[in-house]
Amino acid sequence: MKSEPSEVSVDDALAAPKSTVPWTGVRNYQARNYMRDEMRVGDGVFFYHSSCAEPGIVGIGKVASTPYPDPTQFDKKSHYHDPKATKETPRWMLVDVQVQKKTRTLGIAELRETPGLEDLVVLRKGNRLSITPVEAKHWKQIVKLLEAKASGTADPVRA
């Protein structure tokens, strides 16, 4: 799940009550559909910083709520206001995300260089989605990368 650090950073999320933040502002139907239709409470998520000096994974968390209407769509003062949305027929949904731990930054370059991650959705050319699914095989490999470098051990994927 990508977020610009100026909107909500991993540190902001960790400082929030219960380290949980609502994932507001998604205005892409495919990304909305991932949250609405595919995410379940307890599913793991990678917290990914984008539009910053070093884009990449910066934390691990989980989905902390079932989908519900994004309140920013109804707020006329919000950058994310949608005049076509009504409380009776909301267009945009969100889930709450709970950050469980901050990680080292696993940058986009390192993700691209790692064998086995070539078909990771976030790495696809032209991908601009803020939310993308991660297959179990990729999840395991990325967690190993994060743990190996954090502990100072050799990279289990490349060793």
| pLDDT tens by residue, 113-151 | 999 999 999 898 888 789 999 999 999 999 999 998 666
According to the model, what pLDDT value does residue 155 have?
44
2-151, which class in CATH? alpha beta
pLDDT at 128: 79
Rounded Cα distance between 47 and 67, Å, is: 18
Q: Which residues pair with 97 in a beta bridge?
A: 21, 63
> Is the pLDDT at 84 greater than 50, yes or no?
yes
Residue 79, number of CB atoms within 10 A of its CB: 9
* Cβ within 8 Å of residue 153, ≥6 positions away: none
DSSP 125: T
Answer whether residue 158 shows pLDDT above 70: no
Q: Say whether pLDDT at 157 is over 50.
A: no
Q: What mean pLDDT is predicted for residues 41-52?
A: 96
Dist. CA 24–CA 32, nearest whole Å: 10
Read off the amino acid at residue 90. Answer: P
Average pLDDT over residues 72-100: 97
User: Left (φ > 0), alpha (ψ -120 to 50) or beta: where does 12 sit?
Assistant: alpha
Per-residue pLDDT at 58:
97
Task: Give the start-to-end residue ranges of the domains of the chain.
Answer: 2-151
